[in-house]
Amino acid sequence: MRVPIPPRGVDYRGKVVLAPMVRSGELPSRLLALHYGADLVWGPETVDRSMIGTTRRLNPRTNMLEWSRLPTNPQHRANNPHPTESVIYRLDPVREAGKLIFQIGTSDPERAVAAARLVAADVAGIDVNAGCPKPFSTTGGMGAMLLQTPDKLAAILEALVRDITPAFGVGISVKIRLLETAPQTAALVRRLVATGITGLTVHCRTTPMRPRERAIRGQLRMVADICREAGVACVMNGDVESRDCAVALMDEFAVDGAMIATAAEKNPSVFRAGGELAPWRETVERYLRYAIEVENKLGNTKFMLTQMIPGREDVYRELARCKEYRAIVEALGLDGLVEMAAALDKTLGIGEEEEEKKKENKGQQSKKRKWAEAAGRGGKAGNKKKTAVEGETGVIDVGATAVAAEPLPAAAAAAVAI
């Protein structure tokens, strides 16, 4: 028996997929993973409150779908009387068609459904994050905090299965971590697979564990067996280094699929079979081409390049000084991308702020030079007379320069001194 796959949904069985990663799961990274053979890609966790209130638009310059909204932070609005909209989520409706899973951060069934409705027509599945232990995810009871409230987690999944699957034809899945004991994990998994979900991903670490700690697989076969009995696909995550590694682990632990995270962040060619990785210059050039094509945020692009470029390379250090796309591609010697990069910088206004700062700094330096020169002349002319107003003589200090004035009446002299 298998849980039926909805008309627009995907079956996770036999798939090697890109994990949901904050910063590393943005659109250019997903396109690169697909290029190298990823079967499916998860976008980064997107909090329900961030999505609710967004407007869906097709970017006419890139043909990418974007969900954007004005900033809601009162302080930001106060400091920016004319704020611009921020892109909360972006996808490629052609290259990601049928392969993108939207992961939602939520702690409330109604908000989960409201956020999912905004994007469900454009993705292949909705996944609930119930495993991330980082504070930005656990705030408000989301992420790994849901493991402590299994009834709430089940209610969220049931609401999505009830309201989203029939309306949009996509499946609902969940990503969890292991609990402290096998019986606890087994009880949780049994509760979740009874909600109507089509897939469950288990990260083979407990909530307190960090990526540097080796994944533990002692409970994995048990989780896979429970999922199989319920007809739900089971995907494993944790220390999966390549497609070949994924296939071997799928066979060893009888799981249906495998998810790659950190290894794909460093070199997305891990998704191709055979084990031989593409050289970093190849992956970086293709990544930059995608980043420019989709108008990716410069900060995110620079972060990803620091993950993909070996730290021993000279260009790794040069990257920190780059303030625009053109500077990045020139530093890497990618002449074929210079024109595209310059055009994007102009479109997004990248570099304009830096130029304004340079002009402002030049202006301040010029003023300082003039003041210094004036002070030098004033010192020669009459340092002994340097005072705001000296009695009846009317000597006035302008800046750092003593200027002799005509004698002033006592009343006028007093007024200037005040």
Is residue 8 classed exposed, middle or buried when 0-12, 13-18 and 19+ CB atoms within 10 A define those classes?
A: middle
- Integer Cα distance of 258 and 242 in angstroms: 10
Number of helices followed by number of strands (H, E) in the chain: 18, 14
- Integer Cα distance of 289 and 301 in angstroms: 11
* DSSP label at residue 150: H
Pairing of strands 16-18, 55-58: unpaired
Tokens, residue 322: 């780059």
Q: Are 301 and 284 in contact (CB under 8 A)?
A: no
Tokens, residue 241: 């280094």
Nearest Cα residue to 239 out of 229, 227, 249: 249
**Crossing angle, helix 220-230 and helix 182-193, to 10 degrees?**
20
**Would you list the DSSP string of 269-302?**
GGGSTTSPPPPHHHHHHHHHHHHHHTT--HHHHH
* The residue type at 100: L
Catalytic residue list contains 204:
no
Would you please indicate which residues are annotated as catalytic (active-site) residues?
A: 132
